[in-house]
Amino acid sequence: MTNRNIKAIKWFINTQLLGKWYNVAYATFKVTSKCNLKCTFCNPAYYSGTLEEGSTERLKKVIDNLRDSSVVVLSFEGGEPTTRPDILDLLGYAHDGSFYVMLTTNGYRLGDPSFLSKISERIDFLHYSIDEYHWNLKALDNLCKFREFGLKVNVQTVVTRYNINTLEDKVKKVRECGYKILLMPAVDYPDSKVKLEPDKEQFYQVLSYLKGKYGSTLNNSWGFIRALKGEFPKRLTSYAITIYPNGDLPYPDDINGEVIGNLSQNKLGELLNSYRAKELRRKMMENSARYEYLHLQTASFNSIKDLAEYAREMGKWAFTGKA
């Protein structure tokens, strides 16, 4: 097992100083494709329950094969991950110091004090999606209660062309509770029936205003915000991966990439060093394929300064609990 803080330092040196751009820092682990909601902006594959789902032991093998990799943050997502009966077991298994463990949830089980108490011992950050459903939006009224359990909360909201002008009240409430909020644009998938993606210029203006007024409460970096204006670096690469519920690894992303192997059977380094991964990476570096829908592409951080500033804000939050 490699300590997560040591891994973070090594990752920074390897990527930013030595130019090894394919090193992964963030893993989105979609442990299920089942969800109790059907948000209009979500990829249907992630709530329909159609993706093959691995057993508890299979997913533990995935976690084992990530421990000694460069992955610093392991985010449990879905679907709705808390619909898995074994979610507490999986979170506890991952929370051994190898990763910063996150849980992304729509709040399905957050009304249960016993569950809150248990996850507080198993995660480092709670990503709480508060989006379009009425019962979910009411969660803002009781948002501060999570402080009683010592949870570091990041509210995550998908911004659409319909809610883009109503974001400030939510940001103010999050700041009042001492949390952070991440505002992510809706993505119009090829088969989307309803077009929700916000105008980039308008999104840039709104984020710039909110970041200027509320500072580090807004968990979007200035590098990410500037990227909305088209200020992309020449090289596009990803510091993040998505893992499917059965352990499959689509690469370089889950929108335009292809499955290069299964992490219940192979270590991450073996898959990333495979011939096929190198070919996909070459295409990405040449921009013959623009993998834009990536959690941590270099377009989000235009310089070491931007990345360092973002890391400083996150480090302060991790060690002091102050957003």
Average pLDDT over residues 293-305: 50
Compute how many other C-beta atoms are within 10 angstroms of the C-beta atom of residue 165.
Answer: 9
pLDDT computed for residue 263 by the predictor: 98
pLDDT computed for residue 22 by the predictor: 80
Segment among 28-37, 126-135, 143-152 with least mean pLDDT: 126-135
pLDDT confidence bin for 188, thresholds 50/70/90:
confident
Q: What are the tens digits of pLDDT across the range 11-20?
A: 889 887 887 8
pLDDT computed for residue 21 by the predictor: 76
Q: Is residue 125 left, alpha or beta, with left meaning phi > 0 and alpha meaning psi from -120 to 50?
A: beta
Average pLDDT over residues 146-158: 90
Q: What are the tens digits of pLDDT across the range 245-283?
A: 999 999 987 777 899 999 999 999 999 999 999 998 887
Average pLDDT over residues 151-159: 90
Whether 213 shows a pLDDT value over 90: the answer reads: yes
Q: What are the tens digits of pLDDT across the range 18-51?
A: 878 788 999 999 999 888 766 665 666 555 556 7
Average pLDDT over residues 151-161: 90
| Spatial distance between the Cα atoms of 243 and 51, rounded to a whole number of angstroms | 12
| Spatial distance between the Cα atoms of 286 and 21, rounded to a whole number of angstroms | 13
123 residue type, one letter: I
Which domains are seen in the chain, by residue range? 4-320 (3.20.20.70)
pLDDT computed for residue 319 by the predictor: 72
Share of the chain above pLDDT 90, in %: 46
Indicate the DSSP class of residue 30.
Answer: E
pLDDT confidence bin for 298, thresholds 50/70/90:
very low
| Spatial distance between the Cα atoms of 299 and 213, rounded to a whole number of angstroms | 23
Segment among 10-14, 64-68, 211-215, 308-312 with least mean pLDDT: 308-312
Q: What are the strands, taking DSSP E only, across the chain?
A: 26-30, 73-77, 100-105, 125-129, 153-159, 180-185, 240-243, 248-251, 258-262
Whether 296 shows a pLDDT value over 60: the answer reads: no
